[in-house]
Amino acid sequence: MSRAKGLPGLWGAYRLRWKRRRFLFRVWRKRKQIKAVHDRTSKLSSDAIFVFSTVRNEMLRLPYFLKHYRALGVDHFLIVDNGSDDGTAEFLAAQADVSLWTTKHSYRLARFGVDWLGWLQAKHGHNRWCLTVDADELLIYPDYQSRDLKALTAWLDQQNLTSFGALLLDLYPKGPLGDANYLSGGDPTKTLCWYDADNYRHKYHPYYGNLWIQGGVRDRMFFAAEPDRAPTLNKTPLVRWNRRFAYVSSTHQILPRHLHDVFDFEGESKTSGVLLYTKFLPNIGAKSSEELERKQHFENSIHYTDYYRQMIENPTLWYDGSSSYSSDQKLVEQGLMSKGSWV
């Protein structure tokens, strides 16, 4: 498959291999930045499904986050807490199915947590299905209510697939962002029940072999004048992990590049999911102020200053053509995700 999509030549492949090794070395070098608080990973069966996540002050989202993934059949959560001060660490330490690590090091210098998680994945995730998501990302896929992740991964195994792609879908409320109501533990899709259905643009990334997707509400609201800076929306969050694998930037890109074979060039459609993005809960203003201070997000924080400023100004993202989020079925019909051959 990789060949059909144009390998970047033998030399390119060789460079990519070294690039991956550099990432793995980086992961190894930073392994001591995280300290285990509760390591409950022993005694887990070989077919257990793991969630990996880095969090910071996510008390608002975590209760539902855990609930969502438990319902999907996740067996264990491996979480790195990056210096929370709102009780996140204590909350997580009290959960029986969470193993917790903690660090005060720079999130940005750890490639936005990828280095820390990379070490945990190499240590605990080898040859298991690993789902790498942020606290504001809820994975869904066609028929996820009747088919849990065990069913999905069993099917992926049967099809000899090692990765599963998902589109990051920005959800937003009707009215100004800060005015919405949300109580921790509730279903965020009840508050953030709107999204842009069809303004996503796709482009093939010839080097990494992934599909580069941009668009959505942030693109239309904040990045119209600078489309190439608009947030990347393609993700490969679910992977049957191997200790030789390495995420490149967040979960947008991964090496080796065959893991990007989650789309098809021939006109077929493969099975794919959606990551419901719950960033725009009412605390977005406060979070953005904090980000402006900490400058821990994105490679060139300077370019996103404007974006954070606008976030603090309590904008309205909704317009009268927004789609309302109702079901996975609707997302399939609109072509945001696909059942593929998983009938």
Partner 1 sequence: MTLGVIMLIHTGFDRAEQMARHWNDAGCPVDIHIDSNVSRASHDHFVSALSDLSMVRFCARQRCEWGTWGLVAASQAAATMMLEEFADVSHVFLASGSCLPLRPVQELQAYLQEHPDTDFIESATTSDVLWTVGGLDRERFTLRFPLAWKKHRKLFDWFVTLQQMVGYKRKIPEGLVPHMGSQWWCLTRQTLDAILQDPNRPVYDRFFRHVWIPDESYYQSVVRLHARTVQSRSLTLAKFDYQGKPHIFFDDHLELLQRSDCFVARKIWRDAEVLYKMFPQPVDADRLGAAPNTGTVDRLFSHAVERRTLGRPGLYMQSRFPSADRENGVAAAPYAVLQGFDDVFPDFKSWLTERTGAQVHGHLFAKDRVHFADESRIYRGGLSDHPRLRDYNAKMFLTNLIWNGREDQHCFQFGPADSQEVQWTLAKDTNASIWVISGAWSIPLYRSGRSASEVRAEAARLQRIESKFLKTLRGPHAHARIKIMTLAEFIETPMDVLQTIIDDIAGHKGRALTQTPKMADLTGLADFLQELRNQGMHPFLTGDITQGNLRKAQAKPRRKPYIIAQK
| Contact flag: residue 163 with partner 1 (CB under 8 A) | no
Map the footprint of partner 1 across residues 202-261, applying CB under 8 A: 202-204, 211, 213, 216-217, 219-220, 223-228, 234
CB of residue 82 to partner 1, shortest distance in Å:
29
HSE at residue 141, side-chain half, CA atoms within 13 A, is 22
Region of 9-17, 21-29, 301-309, 331-339 interacting with partner 1 (CB under 8 A): 331-339
Q: Does 269 bind partner 1 (CB under 8 A)?
A: yes
Burial class (CB in 10 A: 0-12, 13-18, 19+), 237: buried
Pick from 254, 4, 268, 51: nearest CA to 159: 268
Rounded to an integer, what distance in angstroms lies between the CA atom of residue 112 and that of residue 90?
22
Instruction: Give the residue, chosen from 10, 146, 293, 300, that forms a contact with partner 1 under the rule CB under 8 A.
Output: 146
Q: How many residues bind partner 1 (CB under 8 A)?
A: 58
Among the candidate windows 12-20, 25-33, 146-154, 287-295, which touches partner 1 by CB under 8 A?
A: 146-154
Q: What gap in Å lies between CA 78 and CA 89, rounded to an integer?
A: 12
Answer for which of 85, 267, 293, 300 binds partner 1 (CB under 8 A) is 267
Say whether residue 96 binds partner 1 (CB under 8 A). Answer: no
Q: Is 335 in the site for partner 1 (CB under 8 A)?
A: yes
Among 147, 205, 258, 294, which residue sits at the site for partner 1 (rule: CB under 8 A)? Answer: 147
Question: Closest CB to partner 1 among 130 and 169?
Answer: 169
Distance (Å) of CA 158 to CA 33, 130, 240: 38, 17, 12
Beta pairing partners, 195:
323
DSSP characters for 299-320?
S-GGGGHHHHHHHHT--B---T
Q: Does 330 bind partner 1 (CB under 8 A)?
A: no
Restricted to residues 164-193, the positions that interact with partner 1 (CB under 8 A) are 165-167
155 binding partner 1? (CB under 8 A): yes
**Among all chains, which residue has been given the structure tokens 């930037």?**
249
> Binding partner 1 by CB under 8 A: which of 97, 264, 290, 306?
264
β-bridge partners, 131: 51, 238
CB of 197 to partner 1, least distance (A): 4
Q: Which stretch, 41-49, 84-92, 118-126, 198-206, contacts partner 1 (CB under 8 A)?
A: 198-206
**Residue 48 binds to partner 1 (criterion: CB under 8 A):** no
Q: Rounded to an integer, what distance in angstroms lies between the CA atom of residue 315 and that of residue 306?
A: 13
Does position 292 interact with partner 1 (CB under 8 A)? The reply is no
Q: Are 53 and 79 contacting, i.e. CB atoms less than 8 angstroms apart?
A: yes
- Residues binding partner 1 (CB under 8 A): 143, 146-148, 150-151, 154-155, 158-159, 165-167, 196-204, 211, 213, 216-217, 219-220, 223-228, 234, 262-272, 319, 321-323, 335-341, 343
